[in-house]
Structure 1
Amino acid sequence: MSLFKNKFIAHRGLHQKKEIPENSLLAFLKAKDKNYAIEFDLTITKDNQIIVFHDDDLFRLCNINKKVEALNYSFIKKLKLYDSKEEIPLFKDVLTLINGEIALVIEIKKHNKLGILESKLVELLERYNGIYFICSFEKDILFWFKNHKTSFKRGLIFGYSSKKFKRYKYLLFLYKYFKTKPDYVSIEDSLIGSSIYYFCKKNGLDILTWTIRNKKRFDEIDDKVDGIIFEGFLI
């Protein structure tokens, strides 16, 4: 039986260009109203606050050329996403907003405070009454959870666009898989039908795929995976 009761997962919430920014409380509220699960990104500030934000710097979303991990939350909380009224939320604010009503797919971004972010995350989620899944591209992050919190469902995110090392992607995937032994995988759409996909199927792993941006592609893969991370259209 699949881990994912709701296979419809809104990528960074149900965002819409700059009017409803990605990874904003408004985007998460819109997804909750449609009863979609949500996928979102976590990183950590200089003063060890867990925030919901994708990039390692503020330039793309806030037009400020500063690294997130170099700043205290007191600075970050004053910023707006794009030209909207939406702020960069704390992770705990997302938990309060969702309140267990929809599932959370929580991607932990690469960061420089391994063990600090993860420990604080565990503390918050142990008090949270809802369905959630941890995932990351980073094997060291997943390995931390493997060693410290085995009850959390962990997902290995894998995508490989580099042409230079494309022929080695299967070996790289196997290395990360056997290092972390995840409960599920989240693979790039282009890997559906690949040797990586069939390895996961053979080993009984739940499979998410990302990022699906139109209904046609959604219909093509709907019966091939356990969850679909999508954006830019409604299901």
Structure 2
Amino acid sequence: MDLGYSVEFDVRLTKDERIVVFHDKSLKRVCNKNKIIEFTKYSDLKKFNLFNTNEKIPLLKDIIKLKNRKTFMFIEIKEKKRSFLYLLRKIINHKNKIFLISKNNIIKYVKFNKKGYIFGEEKLLNIIKLKKEIRKINPDFLIVHKSKIIKIKKIFKNQYPLIIWTVKNQKELKKYELFYDFVIFEDLLNQRFSKTSNLFINYKNIIN
């Protein structure tokens, strides 16, 4: 965020109903602990370090405090229970430039912030059923895995802004440039990435 880039991260609910920023369901990969987030209290999670650092699993409310006025936050909801949205709303209700995303149907019930539906690498539904489902969700934009970006573009044309994920090099950026409006990327900061600023400006114009 210090460099002016927007960020995307996942959130999960602890046993004592605290919303934490964490990608995995369990702590095994990151903390080398055989514990599941939803069955662990936050007071216990704070005891564990992330990989080989002194960093801890953060609360969503603390991460949001780091946001500046220029950047966007995309928060992926991993939970499936609608009750989770009540807790989430208390933290981010109508905050500017914070968008909620998910591949779960929970996203259709989000009314308090702009939202996006995620297409992963999974097989797509037939086109008629797919369009029907997306209409029910009524997203403000779509986030699409690079393996599906061309097909989704053909199906929805310019109906929704499309965000491609996850681009990892200049070659991929060029390959799909006709099909996306914005990019979620990894490991591009050290590469010559001349289109970044234009993509960011275009995206702001579409979403705001």
- The normalised TM-score by structure 2 is 0.83
Deviation at 1:115, TM superposition (A): 2.8
Alignment of 1:211 with 2:166, yes or no, is yes
Q: Which runs of 5+ in 1 are unaligned?
A: 1-31
Q: Which runs of 5+ in 2 are unaligned?
A: 194-208
Amino acid at match of 2:136: K
Seq. identity, %: 34
Instruction: Pick one of 64, 67, 78 that aligns with 2:33.
Output: 64
Instruction: Pick one of 114, 125, 129 that aligns with 1:153.
Output: 114
Contact kept in structure 1, 2:31 and 2:50, CA below 8 Å: yes
Instruction: Pick one of 48, 64, 67 that aligns with 1:95.
Output: 64
Amino acid at match of 2:168: R
CA distance in structure 2 between the aligned counterparts of 1:33 and 1:221, rounded to whole angstroms: 27
- Name the Cα RMSD after superposition: 2.0
Q: Deviation per CA, 1:196-217, whole angstroms, max 9, x where unpaired?
A: 2222224x20111111111221
Aligned to 1:189: 146
Aligned to 1:136: 102
Higher relative contact order (CA 8 A, sep 6+): 1
Amino acid at match of 1:144: Y
Contact kept in structure 2, 1:200 and 1:206, CA below 8 Å: no
Contact kept in structure 1, 2:48 and 2:56, CA below 8 Å: yes
Partner of 1:39, secondary structure, is: strand
Aligned to 1:27: none
Partner of 2:150, secondary structure, is: coil
Q: Once structures 1 and 2 are overlaid, which stretch shifts more, 69-78 or 223-232?
A: 223-232
Deviation at 1:222, TM superposition (A): 3.4
Partner of 1:60, secondary structure, is: helix
Partner of 2:142, secondary structure, is: strand
Contact kept in structure 1, 2:127 and 2:155, CA below 8 Å: no
Aligned to 1:54: 23
- The normalised TM-score by structure 1 is 0.74
Aligned to 2:87: 120
Contact kept in structure 1, 2:118 and 2:142, CA below 8 Å: yes
Q: Deviation per CA, 1:41-64, whole angstroms, max 9, x where unpaired?
A: 011000000000011111111111
CA distance in structure 1 between the aligned counterparts of 2:69 and 2:83, rounded to whole angstroms: 24
